[in-house]
Amino acid sequence: GAVVSQHPSRVICKSGTSVKIECRSLDFQATTMFWYRQFPKQSLMLMATSNEGSKATYEQGVEKDKFLINHASLTLSTLTVTSAHPEDSSFYICSATGASYNEQFFGPGTRLTVL
């Protein structure tokens, strides 16, 4: 159990466009989902924490208007990178925890390339 999926796995977009990334918990209800960003050869940096039905809590330095997070159901959270720029290119990974799990389970990640 405890499978988290992410879609798309890779996306290439033009500068100025918006990109939506979906994160789904497939076999459990995710009360909390986390969004991370990872640069090459670096650790995971938490961007925001989202709880179902409430506004996301953003980490210091993360622009909430730039990275829109919606956690509309117990199995789905979305991250929208608005007006993407080349510096937004990165590996974005979501994770989820649930009432049944104290651990955090990760999705496979989304590689975003902004041209």
Partner 1 sequence: GQQLNQSPQSMFIQEGEDVSMNCTSSSIFNTWLWYKQEPGEGPVLLIALYKAGELTSNGRLTAQFGITRKDSFLNISASIPSDVGIYFCAGHGTYKYIFGTGTRLKVLA
Which residues would be at the binding site for partner 1 (CB under 8 A)?
Answer: 4, 6, 34, 41-46, 49, 59-61, 91, 93, 95, 102-109, 111
* Planar angle of CA 19, 21, 25, nearest 5 degrees: 170
Could you tell me how many helices (H) and strands (E) the chain has, helices first?
0, 11
Distance in Å, CB of 115 to partner 1, minimum = 19
- Quote the least distance from Cβ 49 to partner 1, whole Å: 6
For 61-97, the DSSP string reads: T--TTTEEEEEEETTEEEEEE-S--GGG-EEEEEEEE
Nearer of residues 9 and 15 to partner 1, judged by Cβ = 9
The pair of three-digit structure tokens given for residue 31, joined into one six-digit string: 């009360």
The least CB distance from residue 31 to partner 1, in Å, is: 12
